[in-house]
A = this chain, B = another copy of it.
């Protein structure tokens, strides 16, 4: 491959808008980016990233998965795909069906693993030993093991966050991270070695950009941010309990409690009785 072609390939890979088309065009007739500039912006990643897998399961939260999927897929030279326990249709939390081509059996290695969250179905994953074991096996092969939102509960349930700094969705975050033996940090995203965890839903995009920045540096990251036109303008300074109207924050917590608290309390009791049994056995 000559230098001109190499640049074209780099362009095609970075630019999601270009996929499948650029090769059809007669690029000689067009304004092309200067190859020197390309070299400055198109840094090589710190570690070779070839495979990025987003774990999905019925009930995953749409943007927990789609934010990192869209963002991380901008890493050139890597394949970004979804993986589920079984191949076939997987539903998000609202019933939208997506075709997943790769099962746990198909995926034995990932450079980046992303575990999205959700609600009840996410909690169920924390009880699913097939899922937990697959994550632990994959983790042995990753450069980055990551979770978004309550996806940190699943990652926590594998035991991989024990003694590590981590975060999750704001809902009972300190309590949940403590239950899994992690040191809760109240941040948008938290990095501890190769373990990256993020706060709720949209925080997965900020974490993904931070991972890209970690690997590729500022210029490449700014390129991705332009491709996402990521210059957010939230309608209010809100989005976390501390910045929200206390009435709203309280109501949301109580609404989550209605659904989640019985499951959490039950799990806590299970863990306590296991601990007691262990002490007793000693």
Q: Contact residues of A with B, CB < 8 Å?
A: 11, 14-19, 21-22, 25, 27, 29-33, 37-38, 40-41, 61-63, 66-67, 69-70, 73, 80, 82, 89, 93-94, 96-99, 118-120, 149, 169-170, 188, 199-203, 205-206, 209-210, 213, 218-219, 221-223, 225-241, 243-245, 247-252, 254-262
Say whether B244 contacts A226, CB under 8 Å. yes
| Count of identical protomers in the assembly | 2
CB–CB B259/A63 < 8 A: no
12 pairs from A and B in contact (CB 8 Å cutoff):
A17-B256, A63-B228, A96-B99, A201-B230, A202-B205, A202-B229, A219-B248, A221-B235, A226-B240, A226-B248, A231-B234, A231-B239
CA distance A67 to B69 in the complex (A): 13
Interface centre among A61, A118, A206, A226 (most CB of B within 10 A): A226
Contacts of A63 in B (CB 8 A): 66-67, 70, 228
Residues of B within 8 A of A257 (CB): 30-31
